Amino acid sequence: MAKKPRGVFIAGNWKMNFGLLETKTFFSSLSKLWITPKNSTPEVALFVPATSIAEANRARGALPVRVGAQNAHWEMKGAFTGELSAPMLAELGVSDVLVAHSERRQFFGETDESARKRTEGLLAQGFRVMLCVGETRAEREANQTEAVLQKQIKGAITPGGAAQFLDGRLTIAYEPVWAIGTGLTATPAEAESAHQFIRRLLWDSFGMEASARTPILYGGSVTPGNIETLLTCPNIDGALVGGASLKPESFWELVQKGMRVA
Ligand code: PGA
């Protein structure tokens, strides 16, 4: 029997890094390292810049790594200069989209309302969505963590909207803003407490099954050195990793450690 009921999901977020050549080099090195042990089914995705998606899909060859997009518009087409639609990404082989990463919230005006439209629109179009939530340092210090998580999750997943599609295609990434790119990781106890709160919120709002089948990943300075302890927590189903996903060696180490715990 698997030790983790939802398996382990390791996702990398390259952010605005790696053009075509670096993408090709990354996958060429990763392919040399990768060995999938028998009886192991790792769930692995890499969210790469839109311009590198096609190359990533080519360069990954047979590696069981899904290539995802870091953002997408909720409409299928139209007068939205500078945006990419989900059907355009699907043509490149994308099935996973990151929604409302804290950098989109912080720098590009993403709100709970636009996160709701994206989550709803993309799930309705058949995509897998990774919805990012998390509090700032000031919010944590003001004891607002749970209130913020509740607002972000209930704002994005509404009963007539995304809640209709909680069939396992939605993943939630809990990423405390103060832990992203700072080297400060939430302690396993802090992370587990937030994950437990999210799991309970999903249960209360959308029922036991929806809550049980939604993976909740932790993100924020995850490294090969701290991933195992985080994954021992019952409600942590994987990790969303920025910095440590940029080196094939450390990304592979994260995947390996994830497979060991799964
Ligand atoms: P980090 O980024 O691992 O570099 O902290 C995580 C993220 O932004 O998803």
Taking residue 146's Cβ as centre, other Cβ atoms within 10 Å add up to 16
Atom 7 (ligand 1) nearest CA: 242
Amino acid at 253: E
Active site residue 175: yes
Residues with CB under 6 A from ligand 1: 13, 175, 180-181, 219-222, 240-243
Q: Is 143 left (phi over 0), alpha (psi -120 to 50) or beta?
A: left
Quick check: 109 pLDDT over 80? yes
Q: Indicate the top mutation candidate among 180, 230, 250, 254 to test ligand 1's pocket, ranked by most ligand atoms within 8 A of CB.
A: 180
Q: Which atom of ligand 1 is nearest to the CA of 222?
A: 3
Check residue 261 and give its pLDDT: 87
Higher pLDDT, 262 or 196: 196
pLDDT digits (tens, 9 = 90+) for 26-80: 999 999 999 987 777 779 999 999 999 999 999 999 999 999 999 999 999 999 9
Active-site residue among 55, 175, 192, 195? Answer: 175
Check residue 41 and give its pLDDT: 72
Quote the percentage of the chain above a pLDDT of 70.
Answer: 99
Active-site residue among 43, 55, 73, 101? Answer: 101
For residue 100, what are its two tokens?
Answer: 């409302």
State pTM to two decimals.
0.96
Q: Quote the ligand 1 centre to 105 CA distance (angstroms).
A: 14
2 pLDDT tier (thresholds 50, 70, 90): low
pLDDT digits (tens, 9 = 90+) for 83-96: 999 999 999 999 99
Quick check: 1 pLDDT over 70? no
Q: Are 75 and 121 in contact (CB under 8 A)?
A: yes
